[in-house]
Amino acid sequence: MKQRAEPEAGVLYLVGTPIGHLGDLSPRARALLVAVDTIACEDTRHSGQLLTALGSKARRCSFHQHNTHGRVPQLLSELSNGHSVAVISDAGLPGISDPGEELVAAARQAGHSVICIPGPCAATTALVSSGLPSNRFCFEGFLPARGRERRERLTTVVEEQRTTVLYEAPHRLVKLLEELRELCGDERALQVTRELTKRHEQQVGPTVIAALSHFREHSPQGEFTLVLGGAPQQQEALMSDDQCRQRLATLIDQGMKPSDAAKDLARSAGRSRRELYALMHVEEKEAD
């Protein structure tokens, strides 16, 4: 099939670049990066090496989370002037835990065509090699670094029945594995992928406890993507709301923290921890 010539005037291209292995840059991406007018790079110095090696003479400008607001109108005006613009991030697909989303929305709103030249993405690469169900899945990217927001997001993640993909920085990996263990137990399926497509690519699993034991012994280094198996289907509720409240009150009277009491009761009551927290809060509010 004959393809149309690229790049076209006034079109915004999102270009996937390698996440490690330089051989993963597609011929189409390569040709586009050589011929396009402007390349918005997450980091011009980082991408400079790749672009120079390709022989790209395109104008380069920085485009990252701290200058998105100012850059979007500039890039839109380039598109309006009939220039072609490509966006690349340091690695992988722009717009996936990387800059791109706001520019694409603005470009579409302004009536410009947006075309993605697909390429590697750590999330999908990890997912399809994990052995976990990939017919339906969730992408969570990076969780909030700390605090209540992180806890709330984690609670949602562990109750999700679909496979979930997470990104995590190496210095926070063990903490995340400990949190997962606390919230979903030792045996939940988990595959931790390290340094995908690179020389020291590694897969560690198949459970939360296996990954935790490994990374407690081997200090995490490199880039990590986690693929967490979905929560088992909810059992039928085995205890009524009142029975749950009474049992929670007893456990807390016995000195258990509310979070531990909810965790302890969840399985035998056939209830999710979130439901049990809600019951506790109703009780607190009623007591006010």
Integer CA distances (angstroms), 177 to 43, 70, 132, 184, 189, in order: 30, 38, 18, 10, 12
Tokens of 173: 């990996």
Return the number of other C-beta atoms located less than 10 Å from residue 131's C-beta: 14
Closer by beta carbon to ligand SAM, 74 or else 202: 202
- In the complex, minimum distance from the CB of residue 170 to ligand SAM, in angstroms, rounded to a whole number: 8
Closer by beta carbon to ligand SAM, 78 or else 98: 98
- In the complex, minimum distance from the CB of residue 257 to ligand SAM, in angstroms, rounded to a whole number: 31
The 232-261 contact track toward ligand SAM, x by CB under 6 A, reads ------------------------------
Rule CB under 6 A: is residue 212 a binding residue for ligand SAM?
no
Rule CB under 6 A: is residue 122 a binding residue for ligand SAM?
yes
Q: Which amino acid is at 255?
A: G
Rule CB under 6 A: is residue 37 a binding residue for ligand SAM?
no
When binding is defined by CB under 6 A, the residue of 225, 228, 269, 276 that contacts ligand SAM is: 225
Closer by beta carbon to ligand SAM, 191 or else 225: 225
Across the beta sheet with 202-204, what order do the strands follow? 137-142, 163-168, 224-228, 190-194, 202-204
* Under 8 Å between Cβ of 15 and 115: no
DSSP E strands, 219-277: 224-228
Rule CB under 6 A: is residue 180 a binding residue for ligand SAM?
no
Residues of this chain, 73-102, that bind ligand SAM according to CB under 6 A? 89, 91-93, 96-98
Residues of this chain, 123-152, that bind ligand SAM according to CB under 6 A? 123
| Part in contact with ligand SAM (CB under 6 A); list of ranges 56-64, 107-115, 177-185, 222-230 | 222-230
DSSP code string of 106-158: HHHHTT-EEEEE----HHHHHHHTT-S--SSEEEEEEPPSSHHHHHHHHHHHH
- Count of residues of this chain found to bind ligand SAM when the rule CB under 6 A is applied: 23
Residue owning tokens 């993507």: 225
Taking each helix axis as running N to C, give the angle between helix 258-269 and helix 241-253, from 0 to 180 degrees, rounded to the nearest 10: 140
Task: Tell me the three state secondary structure of residue 13.
Answer: strand
Rule CB under 6 A: is residue 215 a binding residue for ligand SAM?
no
The residues of the shown chain that bind ligand SAM, judged by CB under 6 A, are 19-20, 89, 91-93, 96-98, 121-123, 167-169, 193, 195-198, 223-225
